[in-house]
Amino acid sequence: MPQQHALIHHSDSGVQYYCPEYVKLLEKRDIKISITENGDSLENAMAEKVNGILKDELLESKYQHFDKAQLAIAVAVSIYNYQRLHSSIDFLTPVKAHNKTGVLTKHWNNYYTPKQKEVTMGAL
């Protein structure tokens, strides 16, 4: 059986996401918490991009009932992953890009680059 990937809740550093009751709710459901340290959307640009596309292109701004919102989110995520072509991954869907073998050209910027560690040859 394939291993399930853990759910990650990404948000900006809004005070509502630090609410103890909210944090406990996420922890109780084994949902990992990802909050930007400085409210900088570039800190997790990929998550911010996905959230923006879902909100701006695929979801209404307000739902009258929770069950309708829940269904709309499920449909939007499915469209995003299985139907929506992404220029950043050679106009493939995320599912096709994930399952592709060989080289996949990525067309996005890394705003934060990992720090390079200096290695001295004598230390090896």
Longest dimension (CA), the chain: 66
Burial environment of residue 96 by CB neighbours within 10 A (0 to 12, 13 to 18, 19 or more)? middle
Supply the pLDDT for residue 5: 57
What pLDDT, in 10s, does the model give residues 66-108? Answer: 999 999 999 999 999 999 998 888 899 989 988 988 888 877 7
Gap between the Cα atoms of 102 and 44, Å rounded: 26
Helix (H, G, I), strand (E, B) or coil at 50: helix
Whether the pTM exceeds 0.85: the reply is no
Report the pLDDT averaged over residues 39-68.
81
Supply the pLDDT for residue 110: 63
- Residue in this structure with the two tokens 């609410």, named with its chain if needed: 19
Gap between the Cα atoms of 106 and 85, Å rounded: 13
Q: Tell me which DSSP letter residue 83 carries.
A: T
- pLDDT grade for 111, boundaries at 50, 70 and 90: low
Supply the pLDDT for residue 42: 66
